[in-house]
């Protein structure tokens, strides 16, 4: 799967894709992440990509021209399945949305800044608008990194242990059950006996019950769905 991320602060996106699982996914050829500096298509030599809002009001608006040129450049090379705009007034990201995106081949992610992009960009270029939660970030870059991370980790072959993405919280509509590792007892704190029993079906049943209880306590809204 290929991600083309359009940003006016591309440096912000260097680190998230240079470590651990996301780095390995790219090395294995399972994901490609290309970050594009929107200032390449700035309207003047000062690197301008934004301007005052028509009608007045505080805050700058990202201009349509640089974004149009950048998207047009990318679309000349390949067809995109989605052009996603990161914005706090978009659809709130959840695992179901992530799962759907993970089936796509080529996506553009557009990072907003300031007061956002000229509305005509949203009307004529953007196919999906995504928020990572009900709070406002300084820009869409961290949201884009969150979205790409959540997608890339579930691409088949990215995680070494295939089953581990399937047992993530949210994948089956439940929060994940508690997990333990060695030592079996630490300063008097013991691991539940059932996990040491070697009885796989009973352990599976216990994990399911724990997942249901945890979901009931912490996120009862998930059970309503």
Site size toward ligand ADE, by CB under 6 A = 12
Is position 112 an interface residue for ligand ADE (rule: CB under 6 A)?
A: yes
Closest CA to 165 of 180, 154, 150: 154
Q: Where on the phi/psi map is residue 17: left (φ > 0), alpha (ψ -120 to 50), or beta? A: alpha
Q: Provide the minimum distance between the beta carbon of 29 and ligand ADE in the complex, in angstroms, as a whole number.
A: 28
Q: What angle do CA 211, 102, 136 make, to 5 degrees?
A: 75
Is position 66 an interface residue for ligand ADE (rule: CB under 6 A)?
A: no
When binding is defined by CB under 6 A, the residue of 47, 59, 133, 192 that contacts ligand ADE is: 133
Candidates 12-20, 125-133, 192-200, 201-209 — which segment interacts with ligand ADE by CB under 6 A? 125-133
Residue number, 48 or 92, with CB nearest to ligand ADE: 92
Q: Provide the minimum distance between the beta carbon of 35 and ligand ADE in the complex, in angstroms, as a whole number.
A: 16
How many of the other CB atoms lie within 10 Å of CB of 37? 16
Is position 84 an interface residue for ligand ADE (rule: CB under 6 A)?
A: no
Nearest residue to ligand ADE, scored by beta-carbon proximity: 143
Is position 62 an interface residue for ligand ADE (rule: CB under 6 A)?
A: no
Residue number, 143 or 177, with CB nearest to ligand ADE: 143
The DSSP result for 45-94, as a single string, is TT---EEEPTT--SSEEE-HHHHHHHHHHHHTT---SEEEEEEEEEEEP-
β-bridge pairing 60-62 and 32-37: unpaired
When binding is defined by CB under 6 A, the residue of 16, 66, 143, 177 that contacts ligand ADE is: 143
User: CA quadruple 163, 169, 170, 175: dihedral positive or negative?
Assistant: positive
Q: Residue 53 in contact with residue 33, Cβ under 8 Å? A: no
SS3 178: coil
When binding is defined by CB under 6 A, the residue of 5, 71, 132, 152 that contacts ligand ADE is: 132
Is position 16 an interface residue for ligand ADE (rule: CB under 6 A)?
A: no
Residue number, 31 or 137, with CB nearest to ligand ADE: 137
Q: Which residues bind to ligand ADE, rule: CB under 6 A?
A: 86-88, 112, 131-133, 135-137, 140, 143
């Amino acid at each position: 799967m290929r991600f083309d991320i359009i940003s006016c602060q591309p440096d912000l996106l260097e680190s998230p894709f240079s470590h651990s699982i996301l780095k390995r996914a790219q090395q294995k050829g399972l994901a490609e992440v290309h970050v594009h500096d929107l200032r390449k298509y700035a309207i003047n030599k000062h690197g301008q990509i934004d301007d005052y809002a028509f009608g007045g009001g505080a805050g700058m608006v990202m201009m349509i021209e640089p974004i149009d040129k950048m998207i047009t450049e990318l679309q000349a090379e390949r067809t995109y399945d989605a052009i996603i705009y990161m914005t706090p007034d978009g659809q709130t990201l959840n695992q179901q949305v992530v799962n759907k995106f993970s089936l796509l081949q080529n996506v553009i992610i557009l990072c907003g800044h300031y007061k956002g992009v000229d509305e005509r960009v949203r009307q004529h270029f953007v196919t999906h608008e995504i928020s990572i939660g009900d709070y406002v970030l300084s820009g869409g870059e961290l949201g884009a990194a969150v979205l790409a991370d959540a997608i890339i980790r579930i691409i088949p072959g990215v995680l070494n242990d295939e089953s581990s993405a399937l047992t993530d919280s949210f994948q089956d509509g439940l929060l994940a059950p508690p997990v333990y590792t060695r030592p079996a007892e630490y300063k008097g704190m013991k691991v539940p006996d059932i996990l040491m029993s070697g009885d796989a079906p009973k352990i599976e049943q216990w994990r399911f019950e724990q997942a249901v209880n945890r979901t009931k306590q912490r996120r009862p809204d998930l059970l309503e769905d």
